Amino acid sequence: MGMQGDFFQLLKEQGYQFPAPSHVPEGSRADITRGTTILAMRYRDGVLVAGDRRATAGNMVMYDRTDKVLEIDRHSVMAIAGVPATAYEMVRILEHSFKYYRRTQLQELSFEGKLRAVSKLLKDNVAAALAGTGAVAPIFAGYDHDQATAKIYFYDILGAEFEGVEYAVSGSGSPTIRGILHYVNTWGGQPLNRLSEEEATVQALRLLTSAAEFDSATGGVNRETGLYPIMKLIKASGVQVLAEAQLRSLFDSQVTRHV
């Protein structure tokens, strides 16, 4: 990513500081709003990324309609676990950075370049993460045109990057989901990467429902108010948002009848 297309460098030259000052008075950290459970998994046609809708502050539910799967451009998303305010700012910077590169270089930023951009923002946020005021542990998923495949990467709060070859999970409900995914991918009827779009969607609904059962910070489905997880697909054609009506139908026919 050359200087001409480096949006981060432009922000620095204009005096933008990231992260914000990380000092927070002792005793107030528990009140910081946090997003909870996210997952990504490969399926036959690409990658499915999903997140529950709950945001918490300590033991309080702050909001039950949080969008934790955010589109950065037509072929990439970032799912957030951690402090939403910090994560949303990161996504805005990434979105403008990718757009700036595309307009100045007359080409898309490479998939590797996108990964480095996410890691750089997280590393710039280390002070706030260690102070407990801005920790974000995201999942990045995108379509790599050079290798003609969708990929999953997850990060720790310090910006270390790991590839989730088949799946990745993050957030408070992730221990439950990780165990189920390992079991299903290893001993299920077929590996995750052979699931159809519908089968992958049902699996994600079941996983987040299981997480909500054992983790109070993970929000479950509320059929009366039309509250369902956010789910997005990353394919060669771009990012696709799964409609609430589709999720409702699959939840009623493939999830509730089993519980």
DSSP states of the chain: --GGG-HHHHHHHTT--SS------TT-GGGS-EE--EEEEEETTEEEEEE---EEETTEEEES----EEEEETTEEEE--B-HHHHHHHHHHHHHHHHHHHHHHSSPPPHHHHHHHHHHHHHHTHHHHHHTSS-B--EEEEEETTTTEEEEEEE-TT--EEE-SSEEEESTTHHHHHHHHHHHHHHSSS-GGG--HHHHHHHHHHHHHHHHHH-TTS---BTTTTB--EEEEEETTEEEEPPHHHHHHHHHHHTGGG-
Q: Which CATH number fits domain 3-21+32-258: 3.60.20.10, 1.10.390.10, 3.40.50.2020, 3.30.70.2190?
A: 3.60.20.10
pLDDT digits (tens, 9 = 90+) for 145-190: 999 999 999 999 889 999 999 999 999 999 999 999 999 999 999 9
pLDDT digits (tens, 9 = 90+) for 35-66: 689 999 999 999 999 999 998 887 788 888 99
Q: Identify whether the C-beta of residue 133 lies closer than 8 Å to the C-beta of residue 150.
A: no
Q: Band of the pLDDT at 22, cuts 50, 70, 90? A: very low
Tokens (6 digits) for 42: 């490969």
Tokens (6 digits) for 1: 């990513």
Tokens (6 digits) for 15: 């005096």
10-19, 71-80, 134-143, 160-169: least confident range: 10-19
User: How far is the C-alpha of 95 from the C-alpha of 29, rounded, in Å?
Assistant: 29
Give the model's pLDDT for residue 2.
46
Q: Band of the pLDDT at 20, cuts 50, 70, 90? A: low
At residue 196, does pLDDT exceed 50? yes
Give the model's pLDDT for residue 257.
67
pTM: 0.88
- Mean predicted lDDT score pLDDT of the chain: 89
At residue 3, does pLDDT exceed 60? no
**Residues classed as catalytic:** 36
